[in-house]
Structure 1
Amino acid sequence: MIRKSDYATLFASTILLVAVPVAWAGESNGVPASSKILKSLNVNLIDGLKDQKLLVLKAEPGDETQQLLVIADGTKPSVIVESKLALPIIKNTYSPASYDGFDVGTFTATKNVINAVDVQGETVSLKYASVSPGEYLYLKTTEEDNAKYNFNLQFQYDLQSKKMVLKNLLLVTNNEACDRSLLGVYALPLGRFSSKSLDEFNGADAFEYLKTLHIESQSEKGSREKLMPVDVSDNFDKALAAYKQGNKEQFNELMGYFIAGGSEDSICAPETYVVGKYYFSKNPGWSNDLGFLFEQSGHYGEAVELLSYVVVNNPDRIVAYLNLADSYWGVGRKELAAENYKKYHSLMVKSGKTEKIPKRVIERS
């Protein structure tokens, strides 16, 4: 099923996590005896090393960053990854008691599947052919007054350089206008972050740059790749199969998972999410087919919103005009339906496929 937002409360920053004393004493291991841990995770970032832990150490008074460590071999701990600049403490204008910056965590990527965490704190699995399998450390931007988007910067251990190197930069967007659910996830070029290792990563500088990158990425859509959530892809395949089998009840139930907002009383307006969630510029055929399934299941508003965008951006996709015309007809906008029936008819005639034109096209146009 498509994941519905549970409106999880976000941490203002990692500095608000409960601090506990560090179990390892001794400056020689890189962990001062007086340090306190804000976050401790068992990890497996580097093959061949036992008892790896990711630690975030509490900043001392006056410090502008928290310390990030990866330690191996719990009985004789040694620091194998250290960053003193990756986790800045950035004051925001929203509240003097909260801070912006990065949260840190890990996930395991499998073949062609990667994870991302949105502003709600929800994890989504995504289809991504370029991913290298294995465990990743991620830095996720957090802003107290930003419920619209965040960035996920994903680092993986590189055996050649023996460093945690940035491999993936993801922009994650949410529906700020309605239910705060996930809209889209985009893989961006690394650009100035190319080959950047965690030990040299300056979080404060990166945080400011990412704000600019968010604006630039919207005007340079060709340079970003929209990733499809695994559950969306799976639901589509199941819904299409149910439609072809004539299982109307199952088909309608599965199509309901594509509608944002939850209950009948709080369903989101199609224009607030349908294109952002379901239009894939590199796979417009998939978006057209979903629009057709929206129309067949009676979700005419969603169908019109998606298919209108498909035909504007793919004017040679003939069948999309038929699907859009049927959707307009279903919603009662017969003049617009007739206009698109005529466009479909004209394109079919030009393509030499006159005999394949459905009778309703002539009758309704």
Structure 2
Amino acid sequence: MDDPAYRVDTDRRRGRGSSANPTGRYEPAMRESFDDGWDIEDELPPLPTEVIIEKPRTIITRNDSPDIGYDRSINPYRGCEHGCSYCFARPTHAFQGLSSGLDFETKIFAKPNAADLLEKELRASNYEPKVIALGSNTDPYQPVERRFRITRGILEVLDRANHPVGIVTKSALVTRDIDILSRMADRQLAKVAISITTLDPKLARRMEPRAASPAKRLETVRKLAEAGIPVTVLVAPIIPAINDHEIEDILKAAHAAGAQDAGYVLLRLPHDLKDLMRDWLVEHYPDKLNHVFSLLQEARGGKDYDAQWGVRQTGVGPYAWMIGRRFETAAERLGLNKRSWKLRTDLFAPPAKETGQLSLF
């Protein structure tokens, strides 16, 4: 990661979160850039966003992880244009033969047939309704959603079927769908979690270059709450020595905006994300690199990351314990996490099948 050839020119990646584009971990050949004396780099334009149409056969993904409160999810997009430097989903781009670096935020896979597939799967005779999570991997309201409206199509299907949904996003675009979400919330069928990593706009710009600003996210919390939609604030991820000092301030600001619940996640660095995060720190906070990883390794049993269920979200050891107690104390003081809000499944009605036959009357 300290090889200059590994990094992509700053001007070309302006507005992107990662500084590099390493070879995908499943690829048989490794790419390496080098200076051949022709100065071709000077002629290359900034990295554009490329949207690739994907046509999956199914849309609901199942999981059996005890760390999360749902067993099914939908991801309208693969990759995420927000470009968050810390995103734990980055390594999943390797399954597409792509890099977890700049490829992840510039090559986005969209699933335009998601709503049709969802209707078909909800119509299955053996389908049992449980909360569907939107945004469990990549953000369902990332910038390309303005053009494709795949997430809105999914919500329209869930609304008609009286099916519960939980959304995680850091985008203000979710307010576009308040009309649907407020209707569903009235029937106890929808809730939204807004991820707020920092209140510092400069830090947010470095970490999450194409996501909504901290002020815009707080405004989003307020708009959702005013519309009667239950809102959770996620202080996620907490990065040692970078944003861990903001826990109490974020919770206080989100609560004032209308959030009623809160959660947190300690920074997770699966696979090559640990190298990308080191590279990001070298560029933006070189003096903090060793301190960040020292605290992180203390919370991960001496490793950069521990994927073990039960500890991967919060870590272990003194530092992790301190973070947990600070979060719990602040949440309790503000009155967060006091209610019991359970989404309903008893209202579910499978979508009617289109027969194509005209009515007689």
TM-score (norm 2): 0.27
Structure with bigger strand share is 1
Q: Greater relative contact order: 1 or 2 (C-alpha under 8 angstroms, separation 6 or more)?
A: 2
TM-score (norm 1): 0.27
Higher radius of gyration, 1 or 2: 1
